[in-house]
Amino acid sequence: MTADRVRWGFLGAGHIAATNVGPAVHRVPGAELRAAAGRDPERTEALGASVRHTDYAALVADEQVDVVYIALHNSAHAFWATEALRAGKHVLCEKPLGLSAAEVRSMADAAAASNRLLVEASWNRWHPRTRELARLLESRVIGDVRHVEAVFDGADPAPHDYRRDATLGGGALLDVGCYAIAASLAAHEWAKATVTAVRRETWPGGTADRVTEAFLEIGNGTAAISSSLTGEGNETLEIAGSDGTIRLDSPFTAGRESCALVIRTAGGTESVRFPPVDPYGIMAAEMTRAVARGASSAFLVPLEQSLAVAETMDSVASRAGHRPA
């Protein structure tokens, strides 16, 4: 890190890196996209990094990189995050942080040993609407939370996409279920979840889950989560409390468009609107600030919350008869 900028290195040059996080880093004052490494030379060059490395290990070893952003397939997250941490880099890693709670714990140990940040890039957590939802729940505007309905249906992956390959960390639970589970745990103040029922459906002839639904008991309440990759686009988050409800439409994909949350109580219905923002830009700015000034100066997804999500996903997978990695 120089006196005036934090230098980023990207592992992976896929859609999210190219369309969202790369442009965000370029726009953040005090940040530089110093280096990139990817399998596709053209896509890697298009990121606009100052230096392009031919392999991931060279980027991790680059002394001119302060923070590594990992946008590889899910099964590569733990290895490369650990390598980067051991090389003295801070790490922002795409969700899910690891394929299992055991992987996340190992990654957390590496972060502690190196005294570096390890942050899961669950970008919607930085969105102002998500932050306002947390504030409303903390202020008990709907009383005690009783039940959460969290639904996220993502795009149907192409036949050879890694999301259809369980060995690469594919499947609906890891790809989109992590969002629904995180929202449910957050609504219940991150109490430990017990999985009481699961329905899992795989693609014909495959092992990755196309659909995973689960019912959870969390603290004094419950949650029903539905994660799928069918392309139908269903997506909702509704939180029912003792004194009302809060509903978010498109809770996990709202980004550069205006959005709202709707509060219903005995006193009436209120719709709170949020102007268009770039949550990836907020995430990149907060991570840059944390690296430059210390974690206490910025909002970051807490590592213990990422571990709680991983533990719950382990429990869902085990209940479905699918052993976590």
Confidence at residue 323, expressed as pLDDT on a 0 to 100 scale = 61
Identify the band that residue 325 occupies on the pLDDT scale cut at 50, 70 and 90: low
Spatial neighbors of 310 by CB under 8 A, at least 6 apart, are 96, 97, 98, 100, 101, 103, 104
The pLDDT confidence band at residue 4, using thresholds 50, 70 and 90, is confident
Reply yes or no on whether the pLDDT at 129 is more than 90: yes
DSSP state of 191: P
Neighbours of 190 (CB within 10 A): 16
What pLDDT, on a 0 to 100 scale, did the predictor assign at position 232? Answer: 95
Q: What are phi and psi of 105, to 5 degrees?
A: -60, -40
pLDDT score of 202: 95
CA distance 113 to 116: 8
5 and 32 Cβ atoms separated by less than 8 Å: yes
Query: For residue 300, what are the CA distances in angstroms to 79, 308, 322?
Result: 22, 15, 31
Q: How many CB atoms lie within 10 A of CB 247?
A: 17
User: Is-contact 217 193, C-beta < 8 A?
Assistant: yes
Percent of the chain with pLDDT over 90: 93
- Say if strands 90-93 and 67-70 run parallel, antiparallel, or are unpaired: parallel
* Rounded mean pLDDT, 251-274: 93
Per domain, the residue ranges of the chain are 6-121, 124-277
- Check pLDDT > 90 for residue 324: no
Q: How far apart are CA 322 and CA 71, in angstroms?
A: 25
The per-residue pLDDT of the chain, averaged, comes to: 96
- Render pLDDT for 286-316 as a digit per residue (tens, 0 to 9): 999 999 999 999 999 999 999 999 999 999 9
Rounded to an integer, what distance in angstroms lies between the CA atom of residue 247 and that of residue 94?
26
Q: What is the pLDDT of residue 267?
A: 95
| Radius of gyration of the chain from its Cα atoms, rounded to whole angstroms | 19
Domain 6-121 falls in which CATH fold?
Rossmann fold (3.40.50)
CA separation for the pair 313, 307 (Å, rounded): 10
Element (H, E) at 259: strand 259-265
Measure the CA–CA gap between 45 and 95, rounded to whole angstroms: 24
Three-state DSSP at 96 gives coil
CATH topology for 124-277? Dihydrodipicolinate Reductase; domain 2 (3.30.360)
Two tokens at 309? 């999500």
- Residue 76 sits at φ, ψ, to 5 deg, of -95, -5
Do residues 95 and 280 touch, judged by C-beta distance below 8 A?
Answer: no
DSSP-derived pairing of the beta strands 6-11 and 67-70 = parallel
pLDDT at 244 over 70: yes
Q: How confident is the model at residue 35 (pLDDT cuts 50, 70, 90)?
A: very high
What span, in angstroms and rounded, lies between the C-alpha atoms of 229 and 236? 15
Reported as type and span, the H/E element at residue 132 is helix 128-138
Confidence (pLDDT) at 2: 80
- Residue 199, classed as helix, strand or coil, is strand
Q: What is the pLDDT of residue 320?
A: 85
Entry pTM? 0.96
Average pLDDT over residues 194-210: 94
What ranges in 90-127 are assigned the alpha helix state H?
101-114
Task: Name the one residue in this structure whose structure tokens are 């790490």.
Answer: 91
Higher model confidence: residue 1 or residue 66? 66
| Residues 226-232, mean pLDDT to the nearest whole number | 97
Residue bearing tokens 């996903």: 313
pLDDT in tens, 140-189: 999 999 999 999 999 999 998 999 999 999 999 999 999 999 999 999 99
Q: Which of 49-53, 68-72, 157-161, 203-207 has the lowest mean pLDDT?
A: 203-207
Q: How far apart are CA 255 and CA 144, in angstroms?
A: 29
Helix, strand, coil abundance in the chain, percent, nearest 5? 40, 30, 35
Query: Is 200 within 8 Å of 214 (Cβ atoms)?
Result: no
